[in-house]
Amino acid sequence: MNLPNKLTMFRIILIPFFIVVLAIPNFAGNVVVTGTSITGVRWLAALIFIVASITDFLDGQIARRRHLVTNFGKFADPMADKMLVMTAFIFLVALNEAPAWVITIIVCRELAVTGLRLIVVENDGKVVAAAWPGKIKTTTQMLAIIFLLLNNVFFAAIHFPFAQIMLYICLFFTIYSGIDYFVQNRSVFSDSF
């Protein structure tokens, strides 16, 4: 297994740790930052999420630079992203940090694109790699999650809802990139019309 694929697997392995940290209440004491109380659990969860997000950036960069792009990587990298992001968003709904309707749209899009990828592989024998709208979607989702986990920590003092704005920006790119994937791969449905 090459280095990019190991980084992808490491990201998948971090997900259960992320879940455990957020699932254990009062894991650590409160830390007060700029007038906003953030529990140690949220800091630790954000740290795990940030490390996992960095592996997402690194695995793709290394794979392209060193010509280590594999079908496993094309499949597992976006799958690892979806698993990490959906886990975080589900916890954020439970923590009342994100509206359920927004997360429902995001989860439905992720499932639809995953289904599309499976159909394309079955019909054309090719793995659908992440396109630029999907990469922007992933980046905005990860930024929104980090700032939601940290209760908008760096912007709370000036009362600027950066985390919420990022959430709606990521919703836009989630929808846009989903439509883009279906438009780019519409030929797999040609037998339906």
By residue count, the chain amounts to 193
Kindly list the domain boundaries of the chain, sorted by start residue. Answer: 3-185
Which residues pair with residue 33 across a beta bridge?
36
DSSP helix/strand/coil, 30: strand
3-185: CATH architecture: Up-down Bundle (1.20)
Cα 107 to chain center, whole Å? 10
Mean pLDDT by 10 residues, the chain (193 residues): 92 94 62 51 92 90 87 83 93 92 96 88 74 88 94 84 95 95 86 70
| Residue 111 CB coordination number (10 Å) | 12
Residue 36, pLDDT score: 46
Residue 190, pLDDT score: 79
Helix (H) or strand (E) holding 32: strand 30-33
